[in-house]
A and B are shown apart, each in its own frame.
Chain A
């Protein structure tokens, strides 16, 4: 009975994963398409032409590089800010915590077109030129809430007496944080960072207002579709996926190696 329930769950989960990757499959497939014209909507014939000529659209690659740089910086900063807020909100009772809570939720409720344009007005008032920095600032702004809420879901229910116990054992507060608290909440931080990274890569309208004359990947694709939608876009998307997949796989293998070396189990609590 229990095993049946397990198999049902496993099967269902695999199906959902499949659902997540259904459009990805189509994207990869169409990177091998060979349209004679400028759009890539109808399947013509299998060809690796686009793969052999992936840099045909220079601006496309420049835009992807820019997007990755922006995402890296904004993710790092937003993760730090958000994690600190999450820690403060769950660990302490303090005056103003409800206000902070509200402040976290409000940016999520605001329509993006409004977020983007109001921010632009602010930059103009402050005489800040739009470009890489303003894009990063904007991305940090909307990512902090996502990070804080995600990390908080992790910390909720954390037994802070663990920290006291550790200090009883003679550890300094910093050591307590890095050796006790951080390992337990780390999965939450990592997940939040992944979310923030994805959000940044995908953002369109807020970036549009604050990019000056820089072009990020979503901006390029949105703009390009008016004139053409070449398979190179699919090629780039597939390449990004492949590299990420390889990187993920590598970290898993690394994890295995270090764990086996130390003869430890995977999860800290089980």
Chain B
């Protein structure tokens, strides 16, 4: 979509390679190489070859689907919560922009564990959240929030919210304000102006934010562990257990690769659906 730099000088033909070199080299050495070793491990299953993959797919299909469901729910929720806040910061916050942006990231400066303990305090059976929901008759007398799907998805959403907000903010913030005003003049409702002008321009941010939320959420292991019951166990926890407790390395490796493959294919499909020309 963007115009690319014209210019056929030798310098500019080399330029992209020089620019990506440091980061790519870093990733190749510290990610690709270790991953290749992992791939080798995945093929050393007890029954040889692809047996570990076979086991991964047959025994843990439920966990995969569950993880994707939770990650999808968390991403949609994060979008619903994060987009308006990003919009607010970009267009309505004026001088306080950077301050608010900082506030969005601030909760991350306490560790995950400290934040989650705080959530447990709030969501405790005898705590304020349950009390309120019981008053509103949303929860029954013996209802609870902790150790349920709600708590796990809530935890995922909360912990990945900044990853949704920041990319959307950066793509919103650069939209020319005059464009928006012109659009509002053209379309009679603010919603129309939003739909036709702002939303399409913010899609790169939505795309990036969705990726940065969905992908790590799908592989997350700690939210389900602390906030969920065994019925909410996600594939990340399974991989963790297989790796550290059972020490079935081929199975853990093959589970990891299946996860990576499925997500990557999903991302490709998503990119095509949104109409971007490349994968991310």
Name A residues whose Cβ lies closer than 8 Å to a Cβ of B. 1-2, 5-6, 9-10, 12-13, 16-17, 19-24, 26-27, 30, 41, 80-82, 84-85, 87-94, 96-98, 100-115, 117-119, 121-122, 137-138, 140-141, 144, 146, 148-161, 163-164, 184, 187-188, 190-192, 194-195, 197-199, 201-202, 204-205, 217-218, 221-222, 225, 229, 233-234, 237, 240-241, 244-245, 248-249, 251-252, 255-256, 266-267, 269-270
Do A114 and B87 touch across chains, with their CB atoms under 8 A apart? no
B145 within 8 A of A: no
Q: Give which listed residue, A102, A111, A141, A197, contacts B236 with CB less than 8 A.
A: A111
Within 8 A of A (CB), among B94-127: 94-115, 117-119, 121-122
Number of interchain pairs (Cβ within 8 Å): 333
With both beta carbons as reference points, the residue of chain B lying nearest to A14 in the complex is identified as B88
**B4 close to A194 (CB less than 8 A):** no
Residue of A nearest to B112 (CB): A202
- Say which residue of B110, B189, B252 sits within 8 Å of A24 (CB atoms): B110
Which of B19, B102, B184, B221 is within 8 Å of A113, CB to CB?
A: B221
A-B contact list, 5 entries, CB within 8 Å: A88-B16, A98-B279, A108-B211, A109-B264, A113-B236
**Across the interface, do B95 and A148 meet the contact criterion of CB distance under 8 Å?**
no
* Minimum Cβ distance to chain B for residue A31 (Å): 10
A80 contacts B22, C-beta separation under 8 Å: yes
Q: A111-B256, A149-B208 are in contact. Are A218 and B279 (CB under 8 A)?
A: no
Report yes or no: A121 in contact with B279, Cβ–Cβ below 8 A.
no
* Given A27-B118, A110-B35, CB of A91 within 8 Å of CB of B4: yes
Task: Name which of B44-52, B56-64, B130-138, B162-170 contacts chain A.
Answer: B162-170
Q: Which residues of A have CB within 8 Å of B174?
A: 154, 157, 184, 187, 269
Cβ of B173: which chain A residues have Cβ within 8 Å of it? 187
Cβ–Cβ < 8 Å partners of A256 in chain B: 95
Check A27 against B114 for contact (C-beta < 8 Å): yes
Given contacts A23-B107, A100-B20, A102-B264, contact A13 B2 (CB under 8 A): no
Interfacial residues of chain B within 147-164, with CB under 8 A of chain A in the complex: 158, 161-163
